[in-house]
Structure 1
Amino acid sequence: MKRLPPLPALHTFLITAQCCNFTRAAELLHITQGAVSRQIAGLESHLGYPLFQRQARGLSLTAQGRELYPRIQQVFSLIDEAVEQVGAKRKALQLKAPTCVMRWLLPRLMQWQAERPDVPVELTTTVQYGVDFRREEFDAAVVYGNDPGSAVEAHHLFDEALIPVCAPQLIAGPLPLNTPADLARHTLLHPTRDEKDWQTWLQAAGITLDNLGSGHHFDTLDLALSVAAQGSGVALGDWALIGEELSSGRLVAPFDLKVPTGGAYFLVYPDRLAPSPELQELVSWLTAQARPGQM
């Protein structure tokens, strides 16, 4: 097998052929003029024919040099394209999401990575419900609220709907939960520091409880659900986010009443730039995962 010429020498030939001047080629390659001359001489020796004609006022390509130049140019263009494509595939999509939606989002992102390992996603969690793409360098975000805003392209995922949940042993215990009024005999677990969620649900249920303010308050939904699963009270969960606990039997819903809050979860990205094909595919996939029947 004939030994190929060294790649650095071919690159030096490409740059020198573009400007036909050793001095200018040396400047572009950040090497000395002597190094350029030696690499070209070595390449000509390897190939067995001259590439340049040395003239008083510079260089000109020989017939062989003119024939070789576009082919070497094509080779380096293919190398550049290959490096760029591989690099683009490995660049991870940057996604931001509030911690409260992790129980829905994380299993689906793991499924996405199993199906599409060529489109990695790096997830940043936060206690914030929104995103500011002018200051935060994310490709997309899951946000919660009534309105995602006009500065983003928004895709609706699902609405928030509240429902009481508790451990199965609590239902089977000495204090049954047959009607919402029975909550008066149980500890209420609040997923936030205020009591607004329970107030919203109880108002829809048409009852008032004296023990509303005597329950336990938590900073996150996860903490409230963990305590509920231990049989220590009744938590209020978002129906769209507790499917795994309900399907596994870790938690049960003693009542069928689901109360919409007016809040919703959206998948958003900046509207100022066209999303990449990879981001478009992820958005479509997650949106499909949020459709009724897929939750």
Structure 2
Amino acid sequence: MRIRSPSLHELHAFASAARHGSFSKAAEDLCVTQGAISRAIARLEEHLGQTFFFRQARGIELTASGRAYLDLVGPALQTLESAAIAQRVPAATTRLRLSVAPTLAIKWLIPRLADWQALHPQITLSLAPYQHDEDFSSPDIDAWLRPGEDDWPNGIAADYIVGREIVAICHPKELRGRHPLREPVDLLSRPLLYHTNYPNNWRVWLDAVGVSNMSLTPSADFEQVSMLVQAVMAGLGVAIVQRCLIDEELSSGRIAIPFDRPISIKRGYMLCTRRASHSNRALQQLHQWLKAQAAANHPKPVITGNA
């Protein structure tokens, strides 16, 4: 039997253009170019010997023949779409293994994972053990979210996500009383709490806000940011930390930022992936989501440091 009906591509182009009254909107709807829509409809009109649209400067409009044809094929196209949806095998669940620095996982990533699950229910994101001396050789890990700058092994692509902004924090009581913190230099009258692995953070921040050539005497140092923040909440002193790691404590009022002067350093949390995996759609979606989370409601740094 000779098939006289047009192709589904042509029919979908026609129906979408008719619904939207626009070739360009039909192209967006069907994820093709406007030229592809125009050519498909031209083929359809030539095949059936009809003119279905008036082409006008302000857009397109169905002819009487076009309206009649849409009434005929519209329900059939909807029936075909419904049948395809009903018979389609659900997409297989994709699993991504992400190695994350523990503090970032606890303080920044995990509180946001409900959003990820809502947006990407078909992609299971699990957290792999974190290795300080990571060599990126484990085949069981798809990506790494870890601190660093720009020195990465061959075959590894790294993109900055969050964590370059550092701020001074204090106990809220330091903003009240007889001798409240009024200027950055006032911080030097309080015990200075240091991060063991990044002792230069204080010097970098103070230099950037104009407090230079001052003698700094550490009161105590802590190996983890969580310990550093706990010490500030206990009233043991003031500290410099990454802004992204203190959302919960700030919102609850347990700590305060006495001077809204975040600075940007070179070190931050980078999403590291194998260059060979760049075509992995799930990894692309994770990358986009992480960037969006970092950009949302986050202060922009105003000064640049060199730590």
Q: Please give the range of the TM-score, normalised by the shorter of the 2 chains.
A: 0.5 to 0.7
Aligned pair in 2 of structure 1 residues 127, 189: CA closer, same or farther (>3 Å)?
A: farther
Residues 159 and 272 of structure 2 are in contact (CA less than 8 Å); yes or no, is this contact kept in structure 1? yes
Please, which of 125, 142, 147 is the counterpart of residue 150 of structure 2?
A: 147
> How far has the Cα of 1:235 moved from its partner?
1.4
CA distance in 2: counterparts of 1:222 and 1:124, whole angstroms: 20
Residue correspondence of structure 1 range 193-212 to structure 2 within 5 A: 193=197, 195-204=199-208, 205-210=210-215, 212=216
The one-letter amino acid of 2:111's match is P
Equivalent residue number for residue 95 of structure 1: 98
> How far has the Cα of 1:227 moved from its partner?
1.3
Equivalent residue number for residue 68 of structure 2: none
Residue correspondence of structure 1 range 276-287 to structure 2 within 5 A: 276-287=280-291
- Using the size of structure 1 for normalisation, the TM-score is 0.62
The one-letter amino acid of 1:112's match is W
Please, which of 236, 252, 258 is the counterpart of residue 254 of structure 1?
A: 258
CA distance in 1: counterparts of 2:157 and 2:142, whole angstroms: 12
Residue correspondence of structure 1 range 114-263 to structure 2 within 5 A: 114-124=118-128, 126=130, 128=132, 131-135=134-138, 137-147=140-150, 149=152, 150-158=154-162, 160-193=164-197, 195-204=199-208, 205-210=210-215, 212-263=216-267
- Using the size of structure 2 for normalisation, the TM-score is 0.60
CA distance in 2: counterparts of 1:272 and 1:100, whole angstroms: 28
CA distance in 1: counterparts of 2:269 and 2:147, whole angstroms: 5
CA distance in 2: counterparts of 1:195 and 1:208, whole angstroms: 16
% identical aligned pairs = 30
> How far has the Cα of 1:234 moved from its partner?
0.6
> How far has the Cα of 1:294 moved from its partner?
5.8
CA distance in 2: counterparts of 1:153 and 1:194, whole angstroms: 25
Aligned pair in 2 of structure 1 residues 244, 127: CA closer, same or farther (>3 Å)?
A: farther
Q: Give the SS at the match of 2:232.
A: helix
Equivalent residue number for residue 55 of structure 1: none
Residues 185 and 211 of structure 2 are in contact (CA less than 8 Å); yes or no, is this contact kept in structure 1? no
- Ranges in structure 1 where 5+ consecutive residues have no aligned partner: 1-80
Residues 155 and 287 of structure 1 are in contact (CA less than 8 Å); yes or no, is this contact kept in structure 2? no
RMSD: 2.7
Equivalent residue number for residue 62 of structure 1: none
> How far has the Cα of 1:99 moved from its partner?
2.2
The C-alpha deviation readout for 1:240-278, integer Å capped at 9, x for no partner, is 332333233222111122222212222121112344322
Aligned pair in 2 of structure 1 residues 219, 245: CA closer, same or farther (>3 Å)?
A: same
CA distance in 2: counterparts of 1:136 and 1:225, whole angstroms: 35
Aligned residues: 209
Residues 160 and 238 of structure 1 are in contact (CA less than 8 Å); yes or no, is this contact kept in structure 2? yes
CA distance in 2: counterparts of 1:239 and 1:209, whole angstroms: 24
Aligned pair in 2 of structure 1 residues 186, 136: CA closer, same or farther (>3 Å)?
A: farther
Residues 171 and 255 of structure 2 are in contact (CA less than 8 Å); yes or no, is this contact kept in structure 1? yes
Aligned pair in 2 of structure 1 residues 218, 126: CA closer, same or farther (>3 Å)?
A: farther
Aligned pair in 2 of structure 1 residues 115, 292: CA closer, same or farther (>3 Å)?
A: closer
Residues 157 and 265 of structure 1 are in contact (CA less than 8 Å); yes or no, is this contact kept in structure 2? yes
